[in-house]
Amino acid sequence: MGVIDQIKDTVSKAVFTPSTLLSGRGGLHMAQIILGLVTFFLGMLRGGSSHTYWNYAMFTWAFCPIMTLFITIIEMMKLDVILDMFCMDWGDFATGMAMSSSLMTVSVAITYANFYACRTCFYGWLVTIFALLCGLVYTLEVIKDKILDKKKGSYLAALPGFLKVLEAFVSCMIFISLTGYRDKPALILCVIAYAIPFPILPLIIATNIFKKLKMLVPFNLDRFVFIFLVISVVLYIFAAIMWPIFMFKNHPRPSDCPPSYCIWAIEFMVAFFTYVNLILFTLDLIFTLLGICGFKRT
């Protein structure tokens, strides 16, 4: 009966509380939703583009407000107390999503300004300003949660989980920047090396977020993560060597390559992000091996 009474007590706390919208956190959420959707529609009105950076920007300005709306509805209905009891650390998830959304919106605002803002591009600057404001309100929530409220994350908002988020984010930046590799077998192998760890990262993140799901995994998850990190480091070492050699050998930067955009610069960004992810995976592996900063070791 003790467990049943505890469940009944938890469910009784799940009541509709619109007053949460009037709190500082609720106000930030409303600003994030409004600015994200306004930026999305301004980007749509500016006109479509076949460029992968534009597609990623539109995805970000849709995904982040939708996730914020989902979090707001859950907290307004007080369903977070039920989720917190049965399947996940809701506070960790909400703060982690704010950190992820901040990373995505700020990077997209900078990327969009680089490609679409110019001296005569009024509409490009308008979208950029709203994109920067969107990134700002997400950053303010992270500052409020981590610095002012001093919230401690259990996974997603802590270093082990956020490193995985960074690795997935950098992988996305690599994929949307890939070009010029189709006729070179060595570079196709690099793309395969980028592709192998990518789908496993969100599975690791989701399994660690949902406590009940982690209990159902029929193998030692911590040991699996360690093996995954070793393989990822090896794959990224391969790509870090092969991509620059086969992409840039006898292929220097063209003289007509503008600072803001050209194919060579995008190919260079792939190399740059490859080294960034190699560093992230290596740090993740070292921290896991040493069992420090909250990383589990088996």
Name, in order, each residue with C-beta under 8 angstroms of 254's C-beta and a sequence gap of 6 or more: 262, 264
**CB 201, CB 167: distance < 8 Å:** yes
In this predicted structure, what is the pLDDT of residue 217?
Answer: 78
Query: What is the spatial distance between Cα 291 and Cα 95, in angstroms, rounded to a whole number?
Result: 23
Measured distance CA(294)–CA(163) in Å, rounded: 12
Q: What's the pLDDT score for residue 132?
A: 96
Q: Tell me the mean pLDDT per 10 residues along the chain, length 298.
A: 50 54 82 95 77 88 95 85 77 91 94 82 88 96 88 85 94 90 88 95 90 77 92 97 90 73 84 96 92 66
The pLDDT, as a whole number, for residue 180 is 78
Report pLDDT for 278: 97
pTM of the predicted structure, to 2 decimals: 0.87
Are 108 and 56 contacting, i.e. CB atoms less than 8 angstroms apart?
A: yes
| Gap between the Cα atoms of 18 and 109, Å rounded | 31
Helix (H, G, I), strand (E, B) or coil at 80: helix
Binning the chain into helix, strand and coil, the percentages to the nearest 5 are 75, 0, 25
CB 72 within 8 A of CB 29: yes
Strands of the chain (E only): list them: none
Residue with tokens 């401690």: 152
Q: Is residue 227 packed enough to be buried (19+ CB in 10 Å), middle (13-18) or exposed (0-12)? A: exposed
Do 231 and 200 form a contact (C-beta atoms < 8 A)?
A: no
